[in-house]
Amino acid sequence: MPRFESLADAVGGTPLIRLTRTGLRPRIYVKTEWTNPAGSVKDRAALSMLQQALADGSLAAGGTVVETTSGNTGIGLAAYAAHLGLRSVVFTGSSVSKEKRDVLAAYGADVRLVDAFVPKSHPDSLRSVAERFVADTPGAWLAGQYDNPANPAAHVRSTGPEIWADTDGQVTHLVATIGTGGTISGTGRFLADVSGGRVQVVGADPATSIYSGGDGSQKAIEGAGHFVHPDAETDPWPESFDPSVIDRYEPVDDTTAIRAIHDLARTEGILAGGSSGVALAAAYRVAEGLTEDDLVVVLLPDSGRNYLSTYFDPTWLTANGFDGDGSDGDGSARDGDAPRVGDLVTAPLRTAERDAITVAAVAALGPADGPVAVLHPRPRTAAPHPADVAGWTTAEALRTAAPDTLVGALAEPVTARVGAGEHAATAVRRVAGSTPDWRHAVVLDAGRVTGLVARTALEQSAEQA
């Protein structure tokens, strides 16, 4: 076993493990990045950014490391900041798994939750809040993983060369997710260059991510993909991402990604995180068209241990409209007393009601007291994500509003969520425990909003069950 003189020396050198039960013709190896000291592929970028900042004077000894993150980069920064005698402050959202937030705190990071649903340029956005903190804190430095060249550089130096050496130069395909773009850009660039363009680089992307042509809405899988707020005036891509490296994209929906990591755990004994499921599902799709002469490397960013309360938890899965073991998600209600809803009735936010909805359309909205979801407007390639629901109103409120009334002014918050296949009684008990004053809940199928259900209707269904 190797011996290291410091924690930093132990970063990298993660193993390639061949999958033996895929039933596919090519050799498929997964690179298990959670064997890095702080538990993910982001250890590489975090250490690289810290070392570069210390070297160029952007960060001084004893300073404060600041980052906005969905978890793993923050964990890496917190771990190596502690190792280097630095303070760390991490800005993230409450949707990030509890396990990740707990790990951040364990490393001594000051974890600050910011949940404002606003564009990145808004003063209340995650990045804006972090930038103000840096400006007001002497000795603070913002890592800025999305635009920091030390992010992809880490993978040119380490991840790419490791894959090339460990496959004896036989790798033909690299499959990795795209978040900041640093991992796939650096690794893919090295492999493409060293192979003379022979290695194909596949970008595995959540189906709604803008990178691969989705509508830019949020998704259930943390980390991977590119989200665009519906009110954003511009859509700047990360400078860490070099799209020219990508040979093809493979969009993967949340259900397929979750199913992939469940199957991986149960057939190969490998417990991987949610974005790993995106990469795996994409790799399996690519492998279907390959032969025994091909060798596919799939980069798995982190362990499933970070997601035991989400993607591997039956209660979370059912409440979000995924089957309890991740194997369904076809849109149907799966229990006799589950909430059942028709088509989602919607109205656009911010638009004058009479301009947005014709008289005929208003008449078609249904019963006067029927709930109507008020949505943040965006071109959609999928059913809305819960983040796109600004609130609810009724058909009667829309019919009787003054002609210049904005729909948003009629909307009341929707604070509860129930799964399409969840027992009504279970849903009532669960929601009441966290949101006692709720009136309507969004109904989720595979993480997407397919309807609204009134509390009275759900409670009545629960009583009749």
Active site residues: 42
Whether 281 contacts 252, CB under 8 Å: yes
Report which of 44, 8, 108, 10 is spatially closest to residue 301, judged by C-alpha positions: 44
DSSP 14: P
User: Hey, what are 126's tokens?
Assistant: 């995650």
Q: Phi and psi at residue 192, in whole multiples of 5°?
A: -65, -40
What's the distance, CA 423 to chain centroid?
A: 27
Whether 311 contacts 265, CB under 8 Å: no
Contacts of 436 (CB under 8 A, 6+ apart): none
Cα 226 to Cα 146, 178, 355, distances in angstroms: 11, 8, 31
- Give the integer Cα–Cα distance in Å for 253 and 208: 8
Q: How many CB atoms lie within 10 A of CB 146?
A: 22
Buried residues in 223-243 as b, exposed as e (16+ CB within 10 A): bbbbbbbbebeeeebbbbbbe
- Give the integer Cα–Cα distance in Å for 103 and 72: 10
Query: Taking each helix axis from N to C terminus, what angle separates 42-56 and 182-194, rounded to the nearest 10 degrees?
Result: 90
Residue type present at position 230? P
Whether 287 contacts 28, CB under 8 Å: yes
Whether 112 contacts 64, CB under 8 Å: no
- The DSSP result for 154-217, as a single string, is HIIIIIHHHHHHHTTT---EEEEE-SSSHHHHHHHHHHHHHTTT-SEEEEEEETT-GGGT----
Whether 32 contacts 12, CB under 8 Å: no
Torsion of CA 267, 272, 274, 275, to 10 degrees: -110
Residue type present at position 57? G
Whether 134 contacts 225, CB under 8 Å: no
**Tokens 């993967």 found at:** 252
